[in-house]
Amino acid sequence: MDPSISAAITASIESVINTAFKYDPASQQKIAEITDVLAIESTAPALTIYCHGTSDGVRIMSHCEAPTATQLIGTPLALISLLKKPTTLAGSGVELVGSVGLLQRWQAILNDLDIDWEDAISNVLGDIAGPMAGKIISSGLNWSRQQNAEQARLLKEYITEELKVTPSKAEITGFSEAVGEIKMDAERLQARFSQLLAKTYAPTNNKDAQE
Amino acid sequence: MSATEPNNTESKQSSDKTHFGYEEVRAEDKAERVAGVFHSVAGKYDLMNDLMSGGIHRLWKRFTIEVSGVRPGHKVLDIAGGTGDLAYKFSKLVGDTGQVILSDINSSMLSVGRDRLIDRGVNRNVQYAQLDAQFLPFADDTFDCVTIAFGLRNVTDKDMALRSILRVLKPGGRLLVLEFSKPQNSLLEKVYDQYSFRLLPFMGKVITNDADSYRYLAESIRMHPDQDTLKGMMDTAGFANTEFYNMTGGIVALHKGIKP
Ligand SMILES: C[S@@+](CC[C@H](N)C(=O)[O-])C[C@H]1O[C@@H](n2cnc3c(N)ncnc32)[C@H](O)[C@@H]1O
């Protein structure tokens, strides 16, 4: 992944979490003490981010020169659900390498924070792929049950509005109206032309007939 | 002085020529011409930077900071630091036990940078120095990290600057060069050429009333060594483990080298 894209992703996630910390100074104080690096490796899309606490909140990086204490590997959805609430690793679909204590400290803090992850992720993805793509991807992460229809609608909107690859119904109607008008104009023109032709050639025709 | 005004003092006999954008100028004159450009743009430099790159320069710098591996207690020198974007981040990372030197050859850029850092509440661990990358006034083995962002292409003798940087780094210390480079895709290169040669000077004219300075910037970007050439220059200067990261398709590259 191009470093400017991974930097955009980590910058967005960092700002979402740090905004939440602004309203929760107690959590922010706790996070400042977590100086060990937690690596979170998403399998698809393939992206590893590194996190540790600072006095200004969390620092999230796309590249890390310091050694990591704990590494989590899984799909974005599995990773987020694991980090969001203090559940156990078993059956979470996430693989852990290193110290589990570090994970538990993060879980405790993130659980207290009031972050709308769904919204945050759509925004992050939206910054990169466009707002509509962001919505589709996050709806694909299956936040709620009745998302399938919603997703199909979004996908249709995305293909027509954002990618502009297929015409929308309105565009088709507009187009066929325009075609209809042109056709009528052409017919009118044809009629006038024939009329003119008739006028112009009427005497000549007579002449011709005489010759 | 206009940046691309014909150089009256240029002498035909002079053999030591260098590039000022696409122009060939005497090596002695390049520094003065570059200074003209940056004195002229200093006040609106940050605004232009954001507009020119669509804000992406912040992401390039963010990644640079990550690769720097700078941590509390480190001593960092930012060369050609201009308005202090990197120095600000470094000052947070090195903490009270570390030290950051924001430096630039140009007094206008340096004073804009200093004002900006002071406004942002940075004063404890940052020092300011007006200096030339080719002649660094520090003892050998002083710094854990030296950075030069969008500065090397303005330096008259780049090899000399690289040697000078190597000298002041501690063994194991690292140099990071963030600089425009060669886009890795020919379509991207074409789009980018149009952008930088047409739109950029135009924006420069509208915002700073100085199209010439921005034309110089566009030209100097094209004259700058590409990824492999710069890596080779770092190897020659004596850096070890040199490598580079292409960013935004190679429009910009971050080169890293370690002092053995
Ligand atoms: C495009 S600015 C980059 C500023 C800042 N590093 C950034 O990334 O925004 C280039 C800077 O290089 C400085 N410069 C030019 N020649 C130099 C030299 N020989 N030694 C040190 N700085 C130099 C200029 O004064 C200018 O401030």
On chain A, the residues whose CB falls within 8 A of the CB of B89 are none
Q: Mapping DSSP to helix (H, G, I), strand (E, B) and coil, where does residue A112 land?
A: helix
Q: Which domain holds residue B252?
A: 13-185+213-258
Report the largest interatomic distance among the alpha carbons of chain A, rounded to a whole angstrom.
112
Number of domains, chain B: 1
**B249 domain residue, yes or no:** yes
On chain B, the residues whose CB falls within 8 A of the CB of A54 are 92
Q: What is the pLDDT of residues B5-39, one digit of tens each?
A: 333 333 333 457 788 777 777 777 778 777 777 77
Please give the pLDDT value at position A56.
87
Indicate yes or no: CB of B63 within 8 angstroms of CB of A63: yes
Testing ligand 1's pocket by substitution, the residue of B18, B64, B105 carrying the most ligand atoms inside 8 A of its CB is B105
Q: Are B124 and B96 in contact (CB under 8 A)?
A: yes
CATH (domain of B177): 3.40.50.150
Indicate yes or no: CB of B66 within 8 angstroms of CB of A62: yes
Q: Which helix (H) or strand (E) holds A151?
A: helix A147-157
In the reported structure, the alpha carbon of residue B132 is separated from the centroid of ligand 1 by a whole-number distance in angstroms of: 9
Please give the pLDDT value at position A117.
67
Please give the pLDDT value at position B125.
95
Cis peptide before A45 (omega within 30 of 0): yes
Indicate yes or no: CB of B71 within 8 angstroms of CB of A63: no
Q: Are A7 and A32 in contact (CB under 8 A)?
A: no
Kindly list the distances between the CA atom of residue A117 and the CA atoms of A12, A123, B133, in Å, as whole numbers in the listed order: 12, 10, 46
Q: Is the CB of B82 under 6 A from ligand 1?
A: yes
Q: Whose CA is nearest to atom 6 of ligand 1?
A: B81
Work out which ligand 1 atom sits closest to the CA atom of B148: 6
On chain A, the residues whose CB falls within 8 A of the CB of B66 are 7, 61-65
On chain B, the residues whose CB falls within 8 A of the CB of A11 are 58-59, 62
Q: Which of A5, A62, A63, A128 has the most B C-beta neighbours within 10 Å, making it the best mutation to test the interface with B? A: A63
Q: DSSP string of B61-97?
A: HHHHHHHHT--TT-EEEEET-TT-HHHHHHHHHHTTT
Mean pLDDT of B218-223: 76
In the reported structure, the alpha carbon of residue B104 is separated from the centroid of ligand 1 by a whole-number distance in angstroms of: 6
Sign of CA dihedral A129, B193, B243, B38: negative
Q: Which helix (H) or strand (E) holds A101?
A: helix A100-112
Total Cβ atoms within 10 A of residue A38? 24
SS3 content of chain A, % helix, strand, coil (to 5): 60, 15, 25
Indicate yes or no: CB of A64 within 8 angstroms of CB of B63: no
Architecture of domain A3-111: 2-Layer Sandwich (3.30)
Residue B43 per-residue DSSP state: G
Q: Is the CB of B88 under 6 A from ligand 1?
A: no
On chain B, the residues whose CB falls within 8 A of the CB of A61 are 66
Indicate yes or no: CB of A65 within 8 angstroms of CB of B69: yes
On chain A, the residues whose CB falls within 8 A of the CB of B247 are 2-4
Indicate yes or no: CB of B246 within 8 angstroms of CB of A2: yes
Please give the pLDDT value at position A129.
54
C-alpha of B175 from chain center: 12
- Assess: ipTM above 0.90: no
**pTM confidence score:** 0.75
Please give the pLDDT value at position B241.
98
Strands (E), A5-88: 37-42, 47-54, 57-61, 68-74
Please give the pLDDT value at position B208.
67
pLDDT classification of B233: cutoffs 50, 70, 90: very high
Gap between the Cα atoms of B216 and B4, Å rounded: 7
Indicate yes or no: CB of A65 within 8 angstroms of CB of B66: yes
Q: What is the pLDDT of residues A161-177, one digit of tens each?
A: 555 545 556 665 666 66
pLDDT above 60 (res A11): yes
In the reported structure, the alpha carbon of residue B215 is separated from the centroid of ligand 1 by a whole-number distance in angstroms of: 16
Indicate yes or no: CB of A4 within 8 angstroms of CB of B68: no
Residues of A near B (Cβ–Cβ under 8 Å) read: 2-4, 6-8, 10-11, 54, 56, 61-66
Q: Is the CB of B80 under 6 A from ligand 1?
A: yes
* Range with lowest mean pLDDT among A85-94, A100-109, A193-202, B247-256: A193-202
Q: Is the CB of B133 under 6 A from ligand 1?
A: yes
Mean pLDDT of B160-188: 92
Q: What is the pLDDT of residues B102-129, one digit of tens each?
A: 999 999 999 999 999 999 998 789 999 9
Q: Is the CB of B149 under 6 A from ligand 1?
A: yes
pLDDT classification of A141: cutoffs 50, 70, 90: very low
